[in-house]
Structure formats: C-alpha cells, structure tokens
C-alpha cells in the first residue's frame, strides 16, 4: 500500500514569456508571486504563483512552446463555478467552454501559451438548481 497524499502541492506550467504569463495569471486567475519562493525564479528556476488563500500554487517555467500538455483541473463549489463563469466572461478574447458531464460541470480555457485549464464542480444539482 502506498503512502497517502495530502493534495496537489504545485503544478509546473511552461510559458514562453514568464513576465507576460505572470500578468495574465494575476489578471485572469487572481494569482500572485509567492514571496518566500521568489529566489527560485533566478537562473531558470520556477516563478511560483499562489492564490490569496495559499492553497493553489503554479510554478511558471520559461521554455519554448511545447506540444504535449496536461490539463490542470481545479475544483470549486457550485457557487464558485458561477463566480468563475462571470469572471471569465469579462475577458472577451479568452475562449471559454462550458461542459455538463452529468455528475460534474466544468469550464475549460487556456492561457496564452496554450496551457489548458479546467475549473470543475461536483455540486451538479446545486448548480442546476440555482
């Protein structure tokens, strides 16, 4: 039997222009630099961004565009998904797709470097009832 996991610590995201990506992540996803880990960003290390609750961490690595990407899926509540829908609607150049998976509902979008994201809730009935 394996040791249990506590959750996702951070996600590696590869971008072509880290400064531009940092601005995008701040504006669109509300993430900002993790001050305690800024030192890693020198010499090609990651620039770690986090949400205000310090529960989501994304490590931005500056690299040439890559073909293979994994979707990063983040969980929220039914109320949170509605708030994300409204927030993302404020970015007219951002292609956002909404999908009903019968037991979950998800919003899909990508950052300017093509890194795909999903924001999902399993509170399907609560979302539909509202």
Note whether 11 and 115 are within 8 A (CB): no
pLDDT at 6 over 70: no
Same domain, 73 and 130: yes
Q: In what order do the strands lie in the sheet with 105-110?
A: 72-75, 116-121, 105-110, 97-100
Same domain, 104 and 84: yes
Residue 64 has what pLDDT?
84
Same domain, 89 and 125: yes
Averaged pLDDT for residues 79-91: 93
pLDDT at 59 over 80: yes
Closest-CA residue to 123 (of 91, 101, 98, 92): 101
Same domain, 85 and 128: yes
Select the more confidently predicted residue: 6 or 42: 42
**Domain span at 42:** 7-66
Same domain, 75 and 113: yes
Helices (H) and strands (E) in the chain, counts: 3, 8
- CATH code, domain with 130: 3.10.180.10
User: Does 1 fall in a domain?
Assistant: no
pLDDT at 34 over 90: yes
- Mean pLDDT over the full length of the chain: 89
User: Which of 37, 66, 95 represents a domain boundary (last residue)?
Assistant: 66
Residue 5 has what pLDDT?
58
Residue 66 has what pLDDT?
74
Note whether 18 and 25 are within 8 A (CB): no
């Amino acid at each position: 039997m394996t040791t249990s996991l506590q959750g996702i610590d951070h996600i590696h995201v590869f971008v072509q222009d880290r400064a531009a990506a940092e601005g995008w992540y701040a504006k669109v996803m509300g993430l900002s630099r993790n001050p305690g880990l800024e030192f890693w960003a020198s010499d090609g290390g990651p620039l770690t961004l986090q949400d205000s609750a310090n529960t989501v961490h994304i490590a931005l690595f500056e690299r040439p565009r890559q073909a293979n990407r994994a979707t990063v899926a983040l969980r929220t509540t039914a109320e949170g998904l509605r708030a994300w829908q409204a927030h993302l609607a404020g970015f007219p150049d951002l292609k956002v797709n909404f999908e009903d998976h019968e037991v979950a509902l998800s919003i899909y979008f990508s950052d300017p470097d093509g890194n795909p994201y999903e924001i999902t809730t399993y509170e399907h009935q609560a979302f539909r009832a509202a």
